[in-house]
Amino acid sequence: MEWGFKRHLEIYAGSQRFADESAWDCTIHPAIDRALKKGGTPPFDGIIARATSAIAAAAAKAGIPIVNVWLNSPVPHLPGVHPDFHTSGTMAAEHLLGRGLRNFGHLGFQRDIDASEQQSGFHEAITKAGFPCSSFRFPRAGTEGRAPGWEQFISGLESWLDSWTPPIGILVCNDQYARYLIDVCRSKGLHIPQDVALVSTSNEPLICESPPPTLTSIDMGFTQVGYQAAALLDLLMRGEKPPDQPILVPPSDLIPRQSTDLYAADDPLVARALRFIADHRHTRIEVKDVVSAVATNRRGLERKFRSSLGRSIANEITRLRLDRAKRQMVETEMPMKEIALDSGFRDADHLYKVFQRVIGIPPTHFREEHQKLFHSRKPE
């Protein structure tokens, strides 16, 4: 709690919301293992924690169920609830690909599970689209506290930047490190977002919103992590078995800001068309509207689109509409009719036909497979 990071405070807030709904008596304790070692009746019936080895051992000895919310915990096989970092990588890739970029990279910590999962999702989506993707991994410990490895970190970043072919889209595992990367980009004469489009992770508002350029960042849904952790703990305290695998909570949203405010197609007409499509994807625009918006002829723009992006104008409109619809299906309870209209489709039947043709499954099946695992529930 003393670090004040959004990810920690929101996990606490989410778990407290469930606790309030369930009339739990909750205590914040900075040294749970010490509290359990005092003997006598354990002071807790259940624990939600960033599970250290000491906390896990003390909980096991006391026979108290514990839910881990620290993905990089050194204790394996604990019941846990975590953000889905693999999906966050895919989300970032889709956002940057939609900007017309062709070169990509990922900046992340060594040995951290979250960074590895995010890199995997990002790399898979980028390579599936047919583009190259590099990465730079570094030890976290060398850049924290007195930062004993700072000079090595910066020189490594500089060497990595020298291998880039701008414009390039970069996903960074942490908002703070996106700011570090911006500094190094500036020292190399690279501009954000014209040369380097950045997506970062966690959506810490004080880091993302000031100073310019503001940072596009992925909100990882930490409040939902906390809520679902409390829901899982409730089951464990009732004597039910934990799930075989940790529960993964999908990211809440990608928040676009200045760091990705570009459309990097080689042709300026295509870049303008991409911006128009992105800005109007929730409306019922057609190819003729895009052509009119950039003041050119349809045949010429279609040719430029296929040369720059390898897809047609209609395919790009459909792709962005489906991205919006998929997000609404996973993150909201909106009826399909409302999702269809909000995403620029004529009606639910139109959405169903396009979704089935492009994605290969009905939208209802997609929603069932990707819907959040827990929903708000009142105490019994």
The domain locations on the chain are: 6-83+222-252, 85-220+254-260, 268-370
Helix intervals (H) in 249-312: 268-280, 287-293, 298-309
Contact between 52 and 74 under an 8 Å Cβ cutoff? The reply is: yes
Signed CA dihedral, 138, 142, 143, 149: sign only: negative
Rounded distance between C-alpha atoms, residue 23 and residue 30, angstroms:
22
Does the structure show a pLDDT above 80 at 353?
Answer: yes
Q: What is the pLDDT of residue 261?
A: 82
Give the residue among 336, 167, 178, 198 at the shortest CA–CA distance from 265: 167
Question: What pLDDT, on a 0 to 100 scale, did the predictor assign at position 376?
Answer: 37
Cβ pair 203, 175 in contact under 8 A: yes
Q: What is the pLDDT of residue 319?
A: 85
How is residue 140 written in tokens?
């976290």
What is the pTM assigned to this prediction?
0.78
* Beta pairing partners, 92: none
The half-sphere exposure of 201 on its side-chain side, counting CA atoms within 13 A, is 29
CA distance linking residue 315 with residue 98, whole number of Å:
12
Superfamily per CATH, domain 85-220+254-260: Response regulator (3.40.50.2300)
The pLDDT of 287-303, averaged and rounded, is 93
Say what angle helices 268-280 and 298-309 make with each other, to 10 degrees.
90
Q: pLDDT band at 23, cuts 50/70/90? A: very high
Residue 18 CA: distances (Å) to CA of 37, 128, 180, 184, 211 = 27, 40, 37, 43, 36
pLDDT higher than threshold 70 for residue 233 = yes
Query: Closest by alpha carbon to 247, among 53, 32, 48?
Result: 48
Residue 263 has pLDDT above 90, yes or no: no
Give one word for 130, left, alpha or beta, with left for phi > 0 and alpha for psi -120 to 50: left
Q: Which residue type occupies 359?
A: I
Options 1.10.10.60, 1.20.1270.10, 2.60.40.10, 1.10.3470.10; CATH of 268-370: 1.10.10.60
* pLDDT per residue as tens digits for the range 97-156: 988 899 999 999 999 999 999 999 999 999 999 999 999 999 999 999 999 999 999 999
CATH of 6-83+222-252, one of 3.20.20.150, 2.30.30.90, 3.40.50.150, 3.40.50.2300: 3.40.50.2300
